[in-house]
Amino acid sequence: QMMSQAEGQQRDLIRSIECLPASGHLTSLDQDLLMLKATSMATMNCLNDCFHILQLQHASQQKGSLPAGTTISWLEPKISLANHFKNGAAQNFPAEINKPASVREEQSIAEPCQLTREPEEINPDEELEDISDDKEDDLGAVEEQRSVILHLLSQLKLGMDLTRVVLPTFILEKRSLLEMYADFMSHPDLFIAIANGGSPEERMIRFVEYYLTSFHEGRKGAIAKKPYNPIIGETFHCSWRMPKSNVATDAGTSSSAQSSSEQATLPKDAEGQAEPDYYTVKFVAEQVSHHPPVSGFYAECVERNMCVNAHVWTKSKFLGMSIGVTMVGEGVLHLLEHGEEYTFSLPCAYARSILTVPWVELGGKVNINCAKTGYSASINFHTKPFYGGKLHRVTGEVKQNMTNTVVCRVQGEWNSVLEFTYSNGETKYVDLTKLSVTRKRVRPLEKQGPFESRRLWQHVTESLRDGDIDKATEHKRALEERQRNEERLRAETETPWCTKYFLKDGDGWVYHKPLWKTVSAAQTQQTDSN
């Protein structure tokens, strides 16, 4: 009862501050009052944690004493900023029965580990070309949201980790982070063409070209919006179909020779069937960890004997008037036909000018290496200097490590035009604004599982499309609260989380059935039969 009274008094305090005029002697944006709001919120979170620990101790005393060595950990705050505000406005706290059915459904989905965690084989034929066109509107000046942002800033310190900070709903994109990783694959013709390179040098250059063209569509321009934070256990599946005639081949490789190499990898039950005139690239992503937030994703083209496996840990930090996101992790491209592996990293992303007109830029140095061939690439994403300079600039070079010879240099903008200059003096320009984008294929919502991204976030997405920020916030909060409750339950019962598609491998995560394993098994079986 005392806790409930304290929470009510704290809500009254917040309402009193929010109801103050926006201008005058004492305003709702007064720095001391903003700090008072943040401090009272932190105090209530601390009291809730203490109360929860006392409840655990009381329960253990009723069942018997705690085992020796048992520790009781601090848990997620039970009261989040979103529980008090919808983008800065005071809100009511309706009874459970008054909540929309979709919100109650989001809160009542069973604990993911109790659902089937067996990997599901997705049939690409069930997937349909994506017709949704969720272009993000520019945020423009954010005057009407300034109180929300100032309130958020009052709780942050330079260098502070933003992993557990609840961000306002109006800055969200209408897609999950897992789907954003899929959108990096929106040029499957360039991806497949890597394997068709006639030499190690050409394959490395083709990979660099594909890598640099992936960020424009993945970021959907330079609009500073943030994708949904994936829920642990969330998955995303899609595929692309690319006509074989649209994929660049090596000048020295005939189409018949290429077809024979593809037929050699076909399973026996596919022999005799008409070969399709398109390549299929399949993609799957899964949120494998919540703290830290780690995503695993995997893509493969069976016909070209190539696949890519990656894991990314997103670390966000507050940098004053901008937010920095470090993409910790590593990806590996496997070209099985050539026995080559290309390791690569990802650049940092920055949301700049978060109090005026927010915009995004990439920054940092990334490396691509192929140990077998000795070729490597070094790419620099340049952040704009304080005075002068160009936006979104990128430079890089491809070299042969044994001879330290630079075989290709690249410069330009990662969201505009790239210029490739080769060692023979030739120059190639790639205009990303004119580069064709292949639409991904996704299963309809009614065929998706409850933890597939689009079905999981469908009510948030629909509300954002309708421009109903309050409703989107309510649906988002229901999903996040359910995740916190599940995490708390697993901590109390010491139940480990079980992933569905990815397995822990050292510091990284690997797809449970990668192409390099299935091809190796098929070759072994063929050898045994001979």
Would the pLDDT of 116 be above 70?
A: no
Q: Where is average pLDDT lowest: 42-56, 80-94, 362-376?
A: 80-94
Quick one: pLDDT band at residue 381, thresholds 50, 70, 90?
very high
| pLDDT above 80: residue 421 | yes
The lowest-confidence range among 206-210, 239-243, 288-292, 395-399 is 288-292
* Higher pLDDT pick, 457 / 79: 457
**The predicted structure's pLDDT at residue 18:** 81
- Name the most confidently modeled range: 29-38, 406-415, 487-496: 406-415
Top-confidence residue, 285 or 482: 285
- Asked which of 13-27, 324-338, 448-462 is least confident by mean pLDDT, the reply is 13-27
Confidence of residue 115 (pLDDT cuts 50, 70, 90): very low
DSSP 3-state assignment of 321?
Answer: coil
User: What pLDDT band is residue 213 in, cutting at 50, 70 and 90?
Assistant: very high
Residue with tokens 């604004």: 433
Q: What is the pLDDT of residue 256?
A: 35
pLDDT for 2 beyond 60: yes
> Which carries the bigger pLDDT value, residue 144 or residue 264?
144
> pLDDT band at 373, cuts 50/70/90?
very high
- The residue assigned the tokens 């330009």 is 412
Residue 82 reports pLDDT greater than 60: no
Average pLDDT estimate for 362-375? 96
Q: Which of 66-75, 105-114, 224-233 has the highest mean pLDDT?
A: 224-233
- Is residue 22 scored above 80 in pLDDT? no
| Structural contact between residues 461 and 445, judged by C-beta atoms closer than 8 angstroms | no
Cα–Cα separations (whole angstroms), residue 421 to 369, 408, 410:
20, 6, 6
- Provide mean pLDDT across the span 242-264: 59
Round to whole Å and give the CA distance between 66 and 478: 33
Give pLDDT, residue 399: 96
DSSP letters for 382-440: EPPPSSS--SSEEEEEEEETTTTEEEEEEEEETTSEEEEEETTS-EEEEEGGGS--PPP
pLDDT confidence of residue 254: 36
Question: What's the token pair of residue 484?
Answer: 């916190």
> Cβ distance 291 to 282 under 8 Å?
no
* Per-residue model confidence (pLDDT) at position 260: 38
Q: What is the pLDDT of residue 59?
A: 72
Q: What would the mean pLDDT of 176-194 be, rounded to a whole number?
A: 93
* Residue 52 pLDDT level (bands cut at 50, 70, 90): confident
Which residues on neighbouring strands pair with residue 430, listed in sequence order? Answer: 418
- Give the confidence band of 266 by pLDDT, cuts at 50, 70, 90: very low
Predicted pLDDT of residue 50: 83
The radius of gyration computed from the CA coordinates of the chain, to the nearest angstrom, equals 26
Is residue 111 over pLDDT 50?
A: no
- In degrees and rounded to multiples of 5, residue 350 shows phi and psi of -130, 130
Residue type, 299: A
pLDDT value of residue 119:
83
pLDDT of residue 110: 39
Residue 250 has what pLDDT?
72
Torsional sign, CA 34, 35, 37, 42: positive
DSSP string for residues in 68-137: TT--------SS-GGGTEETTEE-----GGGS-HHHHHHHHSPPGGGS--S-----GGG-EE-----PPP
**Angle (deg, nearest 10), helices 458-465 and 469-493:** 160
- When pLDDT is cut at 50, 70 and 90, the band that residue 500 belongs to is very high
Would you state the pLDDT for residue 149? Answer: 64
Give kind and range of the element (H or E) at residue 460.
helix 458-465
Q: What is the residue extent of each domain of the chain?
A: 128-246+277-340+436-523
Q: Which of 347, 362, 345 is nearest to 310 (CA)?
A: 345
465 or 322, which is more confident? 465
Q: Is the confidence at residue 249, as pLDDT, over 90?
A: no
Task: Examine the pLDDT at 404 and tell me if it is beyond 60.
Answer: yes
Interatomic CA distance for residues 355 and 360, integer angstroms: 13
Say what percent of the chain tops pLDDT 90: 40
pLDDT, averaged across the chain: 80
CA dihedral 446, 450, 456, 462 (to 10 degrees): 30
Distance between CA atoms of residues 381 and 362, nearest Å? 6
